[in-house]
Structure 1
């Protein structure tokens, strides 16, 4: 009986654990302290304890309405209406929630970690109404929950809902006035249909406060579920037009400015705000300092750029820095690769919010100069119809007649008569140059990097630690070749500079789009190669070779493999600051569309640049397809001071100098980062990573781990820094592959060949055979494991390695010996265990020999 009682207790305990493991999300999260279950202080239960949620846990980013919306869904409440901060008098343990984890779809409880704070999150969700499947929190299909005890939501039929009802819903959700009311705009959904007609006056606080018809509706035509879009409460104030001024957001009935410092806004983020305001392109962005801190909205850039509305991405904080934004009133470039390129669209009437394309026949170079200047871009570089698609905008009907000096396109004269038609594919596509330059160097491709904005040239700040990967983007934008070096230039005092966000540049955006105003005494000096580059490679030191011989002619030429040899490759790799050439093969990195260089290079191998080499006098007229030079230079990286080339202090060579890779007091390197370094060294996986403290800071290389983990080479991700720690790394690929061979008493010796497929040999019943394992001498000792597998069994035999080999004797062959064999060499070195496996050998049994 005691055993039965014990078994019952164990079963009850086990079921309790399962219940805890499958805890319903609404049983682990709640809102407390208000009259409604959908408003109050957000609390989370974990490890049996209820604690409040901290509002500013992750990198001081704060809770946005987008994050709050996930909490409201988990609580089975409606839409997120507001997020508030309440500061307690002293610190206590709370739960910190990672927003990125929540946005991925995980439950709050799975994204929580213990944290000490005094800033508590207050959250208000709508009790009974929500918008689902929309593009922002203020748009979607309308759903209603009339009975809180019944947790089902109902769609609303368009026939039972009008503009006054929509005004109530938008106000209840904290959004702006309704702008679109259309059935099935956001899908039909599977919710049941609300069965009565609403009769709101328009001033009610909630939809359920409105009167409704007494009789139920039995049917609703397909495609008639209410789709509602409320306007986003955002504006620009204090400027010369509705598209310029201080950026403000309305929340809780109060307009507050958007702050600049904490958000690190760039023109790319500003462009999203201009689109939301239905203005044109982002022209300028500046921060204005206030005399004291006040409550503002901070916008999380990553959220804004993901397509979410500004309101969804905002959280409350205090700052002295206010954002002033200027968007173009009446002109914009759309569908381009950057803010300064795209199909030209125009809005002539501000009361009519529609945009018109412009016909190429009505637009010339002088008109383009005006547009580029109006948008704060450089001079026009490409003007071509249909370059950026046709779009669905109506066509502007008059010809522009600009002098070229006007401030805006609509200041230009235009023809008196309207144009009735425009041929397909003739909508104006315009590319303006980006205002960026290098000054003070020996050529136009070397010097201090400067950017022009608002008519002013300023240097770019190096505070973020520019890597060669970031510099390569700048070189491309300058139509120079290849990023060769980045160095710090320290000035005597701070001055106004542009700070460039590397992640923004790496996404393909122009430098100007990724710039925000800053002050610093550190600026980068950048050197690009003038006349040679590698394109379409896997790193900066690999790719198809292209050459520009004439700086006045900006076209690049591919080089024919027949005109290029190993000595030429050595010159190119040295010119680009890379290691020695390792692969030289035609079409390795594609053919490209560049014209072909027509002369043969005749380098001695010691020249500084490819164009310093002699070349043949006669031109080559043809080059066989697939013969454009593809070149891979080795990456100048090594491990030194260890017992093998795959262990030791990590060093990187740049500008002819080897320096160690460093780390700071708060370690940035992990084994995951180290694994990328091991791959770069062709040394397999990372086994261990150790930080070794130096007596004082010295010049080292800092490797950006996010850059390295994205697949870039170590050199591409390096920037110069002073660090107190150097990195010692051990990688796993230390051993050569063992050999496997066999011998038989009847057949003599036959060694298994190193082929891609299995080597097979046949043995006769009763014969003696031996399988031998060996490895080239690298390390003393170790052991061999002969691994045998068949359809019915798996057996391992182990022997110590004697003179780096071991023999496994089988006195009499039997059918049970049929299967696959491999040798695995094991050795303990550098305080770690390593192993390496041979090819497989297949043994088959053929009976008794006659």
Structure 2
């Protein structure tokens, strides 16, 4: 746990003491995880709301009382700020830090300003106004640079809680140094460097949010034997109100005051000296009134620099012959950016490890802990006169080396790099690959747009008649995008670029378009709207379900699909982040998201938490070869199944070809709407349309279904039905629509069908009756015939003899 001053102040308050006055490490035990701190709290005063600002309260008879604003003046405030180890008072006002119900202090302070404690001041019976005194102590006078070549350079020291200590922060850069230089009334910042102490020393460690202007308010803690910061400011010149630290209105310091320089007394050689003195590049602009008017006094001499001098005040000068500088004539300078970048060790100047020249030193560049956006890499590619950013790798070496570290916020504009660079030791290497020969222009993202090919330092369009699907596969692969999904002309706007003169003959496996075979194009010219325009599939997808709008989130990078994970995923993978993913995929919004454990480790793409709510094609991500079992899953609204619609009838439902479902006239029937997703509630809307009628009925969804009943089917019920399920999910109103159901009501049958049906029935009845009559009549006769009339069966021999005696009749 880091013992910041805010945490120590909480300790003082928990002990019913006043504000923290000081803390220091007095001993470090053999256990590196335990420290001993000495804390001194004020026993009589405190500022409520913050360490060095807030409503003043004084301890009286074991309770805290507010102080009347009318009983408190500047001298009293100076004593309070000094007693609490803060800077001199910069604000004194009642009711600034909120109202209070604390009892009021009963006396008026009469401090002279030199006392060491408020209660040592004289006092008298107070006057009542009803306003509690509020106080802000500044940090002015509590910063200094020591052990440098002059008072504006050296190790940064800060006096806090009564002690001077060196200062260090995870991200102290040129922007931070600019605020320090300004507070010390020095000129523009020149360098910021990190140094490692040779002996044990406690330093103030600053929170990354400290910007140099809020040192008293921002969080601090103590660490022993830690790096400290050296800053060099110009002692005599500064550029004011510019777009960056290498541009602005020139001011020169003389006799502790700053003066402007008239442009009539300043030329290109003078500007070269100024830019060099400030560690900027050569001057690229010199004019007046560019960076605003000023009321500063005018410099009284004309500079006569030769251009090689190291500082402006070293140049020869002469007394001015005039006394005033006309409005808009103050010298305003724009120096070029001195920082240079290059890619080292790659196949060409558009690939390799990123290096940067800063403060005249070439070093590798690595991202700050939060990573970089893809648009940050795109800035690098453009700076190197390359085109689309393709990919990057983050490799780790065994040994650490000195590197320049840059935040992603600063990467959006190369002119800001100088202000944001910090130096540190690191073992990472950033390998960047930019495309140096192709680009997609005017698309919605880096994976879509009009194709242009570079040749002889100029860009040309490609005619779609000279480009096929195999060529498109190579382009998408070269740009580290997914497979091509669309190939057409005129999709991304017209162009006036010249036409590429050859036809590509790719086989689809090549790594770059220019590696493909080609022949001279048979096209003499490309018709309007025929330039190749290509859409490659994006870098995101959801996998593991039958729907493209539900599953595990995966990202395509380095020509490989991997699951995505994010640091602090328990906090970051929420409805807002998942909805951003759904929106990017054109799948609506998130209805369900979770982090699942797959029990199988896989390589994943790690991305920064802020990526989830940004557009992924400009998202920052890491290439670390790490594995995890966690998966980010999401179900988007478009993945929910449409409701089902069906019909039932008391007389049954038939299905006729090309006529949909049929029910009989006069019978009762029902339309059933149902859904199969997990989200209960809502209402079902039944929409009916025919040539003359449109109806809307609604019923609440019970167990995700609703039954719409109709007592007697009539011709008015014949038409098209559709179910719509309205359900509220994750603060969103969702409308799920079924397919259309066509229903026909059979009102009557034709005469022919009637006759045929009845004839068939009568025939069946006649045949059945005749058959039964014959059967029963024959049986009855046999039963009534006398036995004597029946022939006696003497056996087979007798019958044989009788047949032999029977005469032959011819």
Q: Is the 8 A contact 2:566 2:608 kept in 1?
A: no
- Displacement after TM superposition at 1:391 (Å): 5.4
Distance 1:645 1:226, change over 3 A: closer
What is the CA–CA distance in structure 1 between the aligned matches of 2:544 and 2:696, rounded to whole Å? 47
User: By how many angstroms is 1:526 displaced?
Assistant: 1.7
Q: What does 1:345-494 align with in structure 2 at a 5 Å threshold?
A: 345-349=250-254, 351-352=256-257, 355-383=258-286, 385-390=288-293, 393-396=296-299, 398-417=301-320, 420-424=324-328, 428-440=332-344, 441-461=346-366, 464=369, 468-478=374-384, 480-488=386-394, 493-494=399-400
Instruction: Name the SS for the 1:721 alignment partner.
Output: coil
Secondary structure class of the residue paired with 2:624: strand
SS of 1:317 mapped into structure 2:
strand
Structure-2 separation of matches of 1:246 and 1:475: 36
- Distance of aligned partners of 1:168 and 1:601 in 2 relative to their CA distance in 1, 3 Å threshold: same
Equivalent of 1:239 in 128, 142, 148: 148
Distance in 1 separating the partners of 2:579 and 2:231: 44
Q: How does 1:18-33 map to 2 (within 5 A)?
A: none
Residue pair 2:684, 2:698 contacting (<8 A) in 1 also: no
In 2, Cα distance between equivalents of 1:310 and 1:709: 34
d(CA) in 1 for partners of 2:27 and 2:609? 35
Distance in 1 between the 2:610 and 2:130 partners? Answer: 57
> What is the CA deviation profile of residues 681-706 of structure 1, one whole-angstrom value per residue up to 9, with x for unaligned ones?
444425333243557xx7x4432232
Q: CA deviation at 1:153?
A: 3.6
Matched, 1:823 2:724: yes
Residue 80 of structure 2: aligned partner: 169
Q: 1:210 aligns with which of 118, 121, 141?
A: 121
Question: Closer, same or farther in 2 for the Cα pair 1:364/1:630, shift >3 Å?
Answer: farther
Match of 2:405 in 1: 499
Take 2:265 and 2:464, find their aligned partners in 1: how far apart are those partners? 49
Match for 1:258 among 147, 150, 167?
167
Residue 722 of structure 1 aligns to a residue in which SS?
A: coil
Change (3 A) 1:190 1:507: farther
Describe the shift of the 1:573–1:119 C-alpha distance in structure 2 as closer, same or farther (beyond 3 A). Answer: farther
Deviation at 1:236, TM superposition (A): 0.8
**Tell me, what secondary structure is at the counterpart of 1:518?**
strand
In structure 2, relative to structure 1, the CA distance for the partners of 1:644 and 1:78 (3 Å cut) is same
Query: Given the superposition, is the C-alpha separation of residues 638 and 126 from structure 1 closer, same or farther in structure 2, using an over 3 Å criterion?
Result: same
Single out whichever of 570-579 and 235-244 deviates more from structure 2: 570-579
Greater radius of gyration (CA): 2
Shift of 1:329: 2.0
2:150 partner SS: coil
Matched, 1:657 2:560: yes
User: Could you list the per-position Cα deviations for residues 636-679 of structure 1 after superposition, in whole angstroms to 9, with x for gaps in the alignment?
Assistant: 33344544434555443334333444679998974565554444
Q: What is the aligned partner in structure 2 of residue 107 from structure 1?
A: none
**Are residue 723 (structure 1) and residue 626 (structure 2) matched?**
yes
The 8 Å contact of residues 662 and 723 in structure 1, kept in 2 or not, is answered as: no
Give the Å deviation of 1:174.
1.2
Give, in whole Å, the separation in 2 of the partners of 1:185 and 1:563: 78
- Superposed displacement of residue 543, structure 1: 8.4
**Superposition pairs for residues 541-690 of structure 1, below 5 Å?**
541=447, 576-579=479-482, 580=484, 597-599=496-498, 608=512, 634-647=537-550, 650-661=553-564, 670-671=573-574, 676-683=580-587, 684-685=589-590, 686-690=592-596
Q: 2: CA distance between counterparts of 1:198 and 1:286?
A: 46
1:257-336 paired onto structure 2 within 5 Å: 257-259=166-168, 263-304=170-211, 307-309=213-215, 312-336=218-242
Is it true that 1:837 corresponds to 2:719 in the alignment? Answer: no
**Shift of residue 336, structure 1, vs aligned partner:** 4.0
| Aligned partner of 2:684 among 787, 790, 805 | 787
Mapped partners of 2:14, 2:290: distance in 1:
46
Kept in 1: contact 2:156–2:167 (CA 8 A) = yes
CA distance in 1, matches of 2:680, 2:155: 74
1:504-552 superposed Cα distances (whole Å, 9 cap, x missing partner): 546987334333323344322222344776799876557899999886x
Aligned mates of 2:680, 2:104 — CA distance in 1 = 74
Q: TM-score scaled to structure 2, two decimals?
A: 0.66
Q: After TM superposition, give the deviation of residue 837 of structure 1 in Å.
A: 1.6
CA distance in 2, matches of 1:369, 1:235: 30
Q: Measured at CA, do residues 578 and 389 of structure 1 come closer, stay the same or move farther in structure 2, by a change above 3 Å?
A: farther
Task: Kindly indicate whether the alpha-carbon contact (under 8 Å) linking 1:437 and 1:450 is maintained by their aligned counterparts in 2.
Answer: yes
Residue equivalent to 1:511: 417
What do the CA deviations read for 1:539-597 (whole angstroms, capped 9, x no partner)? 6557899999886x9xxx999999999999988766543344669999999x9xxxx74
Rounded Cα–Cα distance in structure 1 between residues aligned with 2:390 and 2:279: 30
**Once the two structures are superposed, what CA deviation does each residue of 1:67-111 show, in whole Å capped at 9, x if it has no partner?**
7778999999976644567999999xxxxxxxxxxxxxxxxxxxx
**Alpha carbons 1:659, 1:701 under 8 Å: kept:** yes
CA shift for structure 1 position 435:
1.0
Partners of 1:445 and 1:604 lie apart in 2 by 25
> 2:69: which partner in 1?
155
In 2, Cα distance between equivalents of 1:121 and 1:543 = 64
Alignment of 1:56-75 (within 5 A): 56=1, 60=2, 62-65=3-6
How far does residue 129 in structure 1 lie from its aligned partner after superposition?
6.5
SS of 1:510's equivalent? helix
* Structure 2 counterpart SS, 1:274: helix
Contact 1:744 1:769 (8 Å CA) reproduced:
yes
- For residues 588 and 186 of structure 1, what CA distance do their matches in structure 2 show? 59
Local SS of the residue matching 1:403: coil
Alignment partners' CA distance in 2, 1:377 and 1:238: 24
CA distance 1:82–1:713, change in 2 (3 Å): same
Partner of residue 124 from structure 1, selected from 17, 41, 50 = 41
Give the aligned CA root-mean-square deviation in angstroms.
Answer: 5.9
Cα 1:85/1:145, change in 2 over 3 Å: same
Give the gaps of 5 or more residues in structure 2.
507-511, 651-665, 687-694, 715-720, 728-733, 741-810
What is the DSSP-based 3-state SS (H/G/I as helix, E as strand, rest coil) of the residue aligned with 1:170? helix
Pick closer, same or farther for the CA change 1:788–1:610 going to 2, 3 Å: same
Question: Within 2, Cα distance between the matches of 1:397 and 1:630?
Answer: 63
How far has the Cα of 1:308 moved from its partner?
Answer: 1.4
2-structure distance, mates of 1:712, 1:537: 14
- Structure 1 residues 139 and 531: alpha-carbon distance in aligned structure 2, compared to 1, 3 A threshold: farther
Alignment partners' CA distance in 1, 2:128 and 2:138: 25
**What secondary structure, in the 3-state scheme, does the structure 2 residue paired with 1:524 have?**
strand
Distance across 2 between alignment mates of 1:188 and 1:718: 42
Distance 1:780 1:666 in 2: 27
